[in-house]
Every structure is written in structure tokens, then in C-alpha cells.
Amino acid sequence: MTVSIVGIGLIGGSMALSLKESGFTDIVVGVDKQMEHVVKALELALVDKVLLLDDAIQQADLIILATPVDSLTTLLPYVLDRVQNQVVIDVGSTKHPIVESVKNHPKRGRFVATHPMAGTEYSGPEAAIRGLFENKFTVLCDTDESDADAVDLVRRMYRAMQMTITEYDSVSHDVHTAYISHISHICSFALALTVLDKEREENRIFELASTGFASTVRLAKSSPETWIPIFRQNQDNILDVLDEYINTLLKFKGLMLSDSYEKFENYLGKASEIRRILK
């Protein structure tokens, strides 16, 4: 089995490691627009060889598109135009706009929309790590639009990566990820910017930053180049969550201003429900 991975960054690179190590694939071909990524991916032995996109499509049984989501809506139709019987997947953090971009494509059946739910705040090939996906969830979307053999191959791939497979329609996927992934990045970016802004007046402001602050603001280290396209593609859902989040903060503010600390305490008590989810 030959797998071509287009975009050898954190996700593409970590998948390369995982697919090779599990024996799912014999050869991993890398494709990347950025010369530094290509050089680094070869140096780190994330890929066996590097090809131009058209050749990488022809030589592969499975093509994984791991580029930023804004590029996928043009890259995916381009790749599907060039496949015969190969299977193509994407691993983007949004799903509906990507699925829509090939809705009426004659080769739609060869495409499976996926989203392995794993990552770190780092990016690029040097961010690729072993075991990133183990025991995490991966989502397959709108699988009734894909050929059965294609879905089957992708399922086998994610099982080899030791992931738990779950299915969503692409619209629900985008609502859910807005709530449990995209908004977390918004919160962290905003918190980092707020405190960095204060640093201009109070130059010792970070001296006392402890592990709680570090945890809340960790995602602000993420790459804007990855996240801006996600915010753009999932704008409507993210704006909904953002409005609800701001309303919650305004409710906190109102409770404080009206000195309603008993009510505030009861309200915060409900947040402890989160212990059910976070072990």
C-alpha cells in the first residue's frame, strides 16, 4: 500500500509516522508546497520520498489531504479530477464546506471526509509526533456519499492508527467542533492578547503566571495560518457560540456588579458538571 500525504505538518507528519509504524502502509509519499517542509520531512524520515502532486496522486492507493482548510475546497476537486480508483480523504477541522466543494463531482464516491480529533499547539513537520492519534476519536462524515470500499479502507486505516471511529453528518460535525474545539482557540487567543496588552503598562505582569494561566492560554500558541481558515469556514457556527460565550461572561459581570454572589456561586456550581467529561 502506498499512501501520499499532501501537507506534511503536525497532522500529516504524525499520520505518516503512525501509518508507517503500524504497518498499514509500505511507502509514504510526501507532497508540500513549502520547500522547508519537504526538506525537514525527509530529514526527519517522516516520508520515504517526495513527489509533485500529480505524480503523488498517480502512484498512491490512498491520498491524504492535510493542508489548511481554505486550500481544501480547491485542492480536493483538483485531486478528484485526477483519480481513477484511488481513495482520497481530507483531515480538516471543518467538514461541510469541504464536502460541498465536491458535491456533484463524478468521482465523489472515491472521497471520504474525515477529522481525526487530535493535535497540539505546534505546527510544521518538526511538530509531528508518534502516538498523537492513539485512543482518540476520529470522525467520518456523510459516508453515504462515499463508495463502500473507500469507507472500508479508511476505517481500516484509522483502526491501524488506534483511533475510535464515530460518524456525523458534516453539518452537525461543524456545530460540535465550534463548541468543543474552535471556541477554545478563540478564548485562548483573546486571553493572551488581553494580558499581553496589559503588559505595556505593567511590565512584571507575567512574573506570577502559574500553571492555571498556562493551561488556559496554551492554545494561543497555535498557528493563525491554520486557525484563521477554520474560523472563516465555520464562521456562522463560531459566531453563535461566541455570542453565547459573551452572554455568559456578561451574566457573570451582571452578577458581580449587583453583588449577587450567592447566585453567582450557584451558577458556577453547575460548571462542576464538567468533571463528568474531563477526568
Task: Report 106-165 residues binding a second copy (CB under 8 A).
Answer: 117-121, 136-137, 139
Alpha-carbon Rg for the chain in angstroms: 21
Secondary structure letter of residue 163 according to DSSP: P
Nearer to a second copy, 61 or 121 (CB): 121
Q: Residue 205 in 3-state DSSP?
A: coil
**Furthest C-alpha separation in the chain:** 68
Q: Indicate the SS3 state at residue 98.
A: helix
Give min distance, CB of 222 to a second copy, in A: 8
Candidate ranges 26-34, 35-43, 154-162, 259-267; the one touching a second copy (CB under 8 A): 259-267
Decide: is 214 part of the binding site for a second copy (CB under 8 A).
yes
**Residue 24 sits in the site that holds a second copy (CB under 8 A):** no
Tell me: does residue 105 bind a second copy (CB under 8 A): no
Is residue 258 close enough to count as binding a second copy by CB under 8 A? no
Burial per residue of 194-209, b for 16 or more beta-carbon CB atoms within 10 angstroms, e otherwise: ebeeeeeeeeeeeeee
Q: What is the identity of the amino acid at 31?
A: V
For a second copy, which residue of 58, 74, 162, 248 counts as binding (CB under 8 A)?
248
Contact characters 40-59, a second copy, x per CB under 8 A: --------------------
One-letter amino acid of 47: V
**90, 113 Cβ separation under 8 angstroms:** yes
| Of residues 227-246, those binding a second copy (CB under 8 A) | 227-228, 231-232, 235, 238-239, 241-246
